[in-house]
Amino acid sequence: MIKKKDLILAAVILIIALLAVIMITFTKVEGGEAVITVHGKIYKTLPLNEDDIVTVEDESGHYNVIEIKDGNVTMTEANCPDILCVKHRSIHYNHESIVCLPHKVVVEIQAGEENNIDAIAK
């Protein structure tokens, strides 16, 4: 039933997938901003260091509520049929994302601009 070639195939796929997972885990960097896109177009960009609540709504009444609190981003509310987006855990690392497929809403964490000035001496 299981032959040698199967094992090789499984091993190759396993290695590739594991490597990808390891790479992604080890290059995890804190994000700087949350970029909300609707149908692929950027709707709003929010800095992660400011608490905020944003509601994305379209003409047909589909809405998603995105909240930034303490540097974490969650989808707190939505009226899509599966609300998988709401069930998603909070995100804050670069490249993490929460997707609401039915509404085509994506919240992605990106690096954001480097803080240029930390303070001003007066």
Interatomic CA distance for residues 52 and 9, integer angstroms: 47
Q: Which is nearer to another protein, 29 or 53 (CB)?
A: 29
Site for another protein in 81-100 (CB under 8 A): 81-82, 84-85, 87-88, 94-99
Q: Is 111 in the site for another protein (CB under 8 A)?
A: yes
Residue with tokens 């490597």: 19
What H or E segment, with its residue span, contains residue 37? strand 33-38
Q: How many CA atoms lie within 13 A of 82 on its CB side?
A: 8
Residues in contact with another protein by the rule CB under 8 A: 1-6, 8-11, 13-24, 26-30, 32, 37, 39-41, 49, 70-71, 81-82, 84-85, 87-88, 94-99, 101-102, 104-106, 108, 111, 114-122
